Amino acid sequence: MDHFEFRHGELHAEDVPVSRIAETHGTPLYVYSRATLERHYRAFDEALAGLDHLVCYAVKANSNLAVLQTLARLGAGFDIVSGGELQRVLRAGGDAGKVVFSGIGKSEDEIRLALDAGIYCFNVESEYELELLDATARLMGKRARIAFRVNPDVDARTHPYISTGLKNNKFGVDIATAEALYQRAAEMAGIEIIGIANHIGSQLLDVSPFLDALDRVLALVQRLAARGITLRHLDVGGGLGVRYHEEKPIAPREWATALRPKLDSLGLKILTEPGRAIAGNAGILVTRVLGIKGNEAKRFAIVDAAMNDLLRPTLYQAWMNIVPVIESSDSALQTYDVVGPICESGDWLGRDRELAIATDDLLAVRTAGAYGFTMASNYNSRPRAAEVMVDGSDVHVVRARESFDDLVRGERLLP
């Protein structure tokens, strides 16, 4: 469920007509719904009620400060993959003590930043990272709290670019060697072992891969206990999918109900790291039709948003729902490729879409709140879009539209 709905033939963001937002703030434009973000966070929090748990929002899905602030005010934790994401969380009022730091390429500077901030845990993904953490923490007179992110070799049955739990993926440590790594970590002066983690991929639509991975991780937990290595938390990762087209996503309550029989008696704190499932349909991308061209063989609706604004269709060949902001009976229903102005044949938002539209109409790309703006670029020297947050009948600019001066700030001409 989200708070973008049609009323009297016009798309609204909560209580505000999207056309009014676009007229005021221009296009292309990302529009977020605060009520939707809050609803989706609470869905995870309530699904795990009764368990000691922490819902750590995956910042990479949408890292706008206002999005992070909204979730921090609800008590969310955060899953980060860079020092920059940590600084965003702190700037937005997030609690460093609720931050887990994932990712395979943490630098020494990022590790120092996280240790100084006092984050809850590092999710360690390699032996070399363990050694770097130990050495850095000892030099700083600290101990780094860690969990190993284990790779359970489970097929998440999702797009190969967002599958992370197979042996041929770059993420995590092989579950077959994790036991020995835990033993080594237990002997390091700069390391404090507190948990175990896994994350097998994103946009998962079936609960069985979660259960398969959890069984393999719990078997490892038992082997570690036999070695005298006790843990305080289990991080079950994230990855619940959302509806873009005809998918049937798993509801957080359904997911939690399936996992709980394996979790209730563990006595461990449970962490989860949803990103897309919280932010995905909490946002839309609004774009204006610049013109229509084509012939009987192919028709194009050329819009002012492009692959630099929304990369998912080009990168993943992802299908995202595109709808007119105002339903019209004046235009004939025809089949269009919805394409942007960038000089690439791969610059498209949607192919073979049945739309009744005309030049200057507004379109909304649904479920664009996750991996939308956060993956945007300045390709073709295009300033990035503005972002706004709707809160009931109020509209707040949460990121100003970039200007040309923003694009070239930091560049210098030769003398």
How far is residue 85 from each of residues 32, 63, 226, 282, 370, measured CA to CA in Å?
20, 7, 37, 20, 15
Please tell me whether 384 is known to bind a ligand. Answer: no
14 is in an annotated binding site: no
The verdict on whether residue 77 carries a ligand-binding annotation is no
239 among the known binding-site residues? yes
- 1, 297, 343, 414: the catalytic one is 343
**Is residue 294 marked as binding?**
no
- Using CA atoms in the order 165, 318, 389, 42, what is the torsion angle rounded to 10 degrees? -40
Q: 127 among the known binding-site residues? A: no
Where does 231-385 show beta strands of DSSP type E?
233-235, 269-272, 283-294, 299-303, 322-324, 334-339, 348-355, 362-365
274 labeled part of a ligand binding site: yes
* Residues in Cβ contact with 199 at an 8 Å cutoff, skipping those fewer than 6 apart: 102, 149, 164, 165, 171, 172, 235, 237, 238, 239, 273
152 annotated as a binding-site residue = no
343 is catalytic: yes
Going 81 to 156 to 209 to 72, the CA torsion angle's sign is positive
Rounded to whole angstroms, how far apart are CA atoms 279 and 91?
A: 19
| 141 labelled ligand-binding | no
How would you class 163 by CB atoms within 10 Å of its CB: exposed for 0-12, middle for 13-18, buried for 19 or more?
A: buried
Q: What are the CA-CA distances from residue 92 to residues 64, 65, 295, 340 (Å)?
A: 9, 5, 50, 33
* 330: CB partners within 8 A, 6+ apart: 358
* Dihedral pair phi/psi, residue 188, rounded to 5°: -95, 130
Q: Which residues define the annotated binding site for pyridoxal 5'-phosphate?
A: 239, 273-276, 371
- Which residues sit in the known binding site? 239, 273-276, 312, 316, 344, 371
Which residues have a catalytic role annotated?
343
**Which residues are annotated as part of the binding site for substrate?**
276, 312, 316, 344, 371
